[in-house]
Amino acid sequence: MNPLSSTFMKKRSSISSIATWTLPRAAMLLLPLLAIFLCSVRVAVSGTDPFAGLSGELRIVGSDLGLAAVREAAGKIMAAHPGITITCIMTGAGTGNRWVRLHQADLCLYDRDPGDTPHLGIPLTYVPYGVDPVAVVVNPLNTVGPLSVSQLRQIFGNRSKSWNEVGGGAYPVLPMFLEASEREEGKPDTWPGNFSVSSQPAMLFTLARNKESVGYVSLRSLDASLKPVAVDGVMPDRGAFLSGRYRVYRIMYASLEEGRSQLAKAFMEYMTGPEGQILLNATGYVPLAEKPIWESVLPVAFPNRLAEGH
């Protein structure tokens, strides 16, 4: 073999070796991009976007429970679907339900258990979408210490008339509730000796200004204006709730008229899906998958039962 042929064969062998090494490496580098592309195609074909092909306005009303997560979700949905507009108005849960029945709204964020809800007019469907750990709270000037579940039932049932009966000061007890009625939402003295309000902000406002008051708020809403109460010796915090040591919570619901608003149905599919549950967790609530197997030791989702001291 002449020198030129020999040189050519060596170069060809070298090029072949480079190709053998480079192509698999290039393919490996492209695999993640290919996977993303295939995933996108699969999502588009399977129709997992509940808002695909929809447009119009979705009117959300009701409680402030879950509102932080819902507003985050609304922003993401509208950014991805310019033809959709989502508005949120805090009306209180009872008023919100009434608006949905009157077709003045499409979806109501509901902070109570549907089992405590009267059936008035058009029937509504209640969709659970999260878990809200709840803190029992008093005014920071209230000197009361930890309370047992039994003591709290006596307090909310208006059987303990003065805080000194449970280790506090010599001033009257004022239990507060989120009113359950659509007809009389926020009417004071729905139960003798108790005080009801239509929304959690109204409860926060009253608690912060009256040392006699006791109520309950979402754990995520705790701030320096409130004093959390240890229940059976355990202070309310997310870790204690998730470990099962602090056992006060309610399920988060939304109500809608079945079959009336495709946007309302799509929104609840989003909130109960992976993206919605991530937003719930990020805004201080607990995803449905982490719902406790145990019952809440205080029926905070049932104002009537709580007021009766059950």
Q: Please name the residue ranges forming H helices in 161-212.
A: 200-207
The residues pairing with 52 across neighbouring beta strands, listed in sequence order, are none
> How high does pLDDT run on average in the chain?
83
Task: Give the pLDDT band (50/70/90) at residue 267.
Answer: very high
Task: Give the pLDDT band (50/70/90) at residue 175.
Answer: very high
CATH class held by domain 56-132+250-290: alpha beta
Residue among 112, 91, 97, 130 nearest 307 (CA): 112
The DSSP bridge pattern shows strands 125-138 and 195-197 to be unpaired
pLDDT for res 196: 80
Q: Please name the residue ranges forming H helices in the chain.
A: 3-46, 67-80, 93-101, 149-156, 200-207, 238-242, 262-272, 274-282, 303-307
Q: Read off the pLDDT of residues 31-61 as tens digits, 9 standing for 90 and up.
A: 333 333 333 333 333 348 999 999 999 999 9
Rounded-to-integer distance, Cα 33 and Cα 7, Å: 40
Q: What is the mean pLDDT of residues 233-247?
A: 96
Query: Collapsing DSSP states into helix, strand and coil, what is residue 225?
Result: coil
To the nearest 10°, report the CA torsion of 280, 284, 289, 295: -130
CATH of domain 133-249+298-307: 3.40.190.10
Q: Specify whether the backbone of 220 is left (phi greater than 0), alpha (psi in -120 to 50) or beta.
A: alpha
pTM recorded for the entire structure:
0.81
CA triple 302-71-135, angle to 5 deg:
35
Packing angle, helices 274-282 and 67-80, rounded to 10: 130
Name residue, tokens 């982490």: 290
Helix (H) or strand (E) holding 127: strand 125-138
pLDDT for res 14: 40
pLDDT for res 185: 52
Q: Read off the pLDDT of residues 126-171 as tens digits, 9 standing for 90 and up.
A: 999 999 999 999 999 999 999 999 999 999 988 998 999 999 999 9
Q: Phi and psi dihedrals of 115, rounded to 5? A: -65, -15
Among residues of the chain, what percentage have pLDDT more than 70? Answer: 79
Q: Which amino acid does the sequence have at 24?
A: P
Contact 73, 270 (CB under 8 A): yes
Rounded-to-integer distance, Cα 137 and Cα 132, Å: 15
Whether residue 99 is predicted with pLDDT greater than 80 in this model: the reply is yes
Q: Read off the pLDDT of residues 178-221 as tens digits, 9 standing for 90 and up.
A: 875 665 554 544 566 667 887 888 889 989 899 999 999 999 99
pLDDT for res 30: 40
Task: Give the pLDDT band (50/70/90) at residue 177.
Answer: confident
Q: What is the mean pLDDT of residues 90-112?
A: 92
Among residues of the chain, what percentage have pLDDT more than 90? Answer: 61
pLDDT for res 42: 32
pLDDT for res 192: 63
Residue ranges, CATH 3.40.190.10, the chain: 56-132+250-290, 133-249+298-307
Rounded-to-integer distance, Cα 270 and Cα 66, Å: 14
Rounded-to-integer distance, Cα 143 and Cα 166, Å: 10
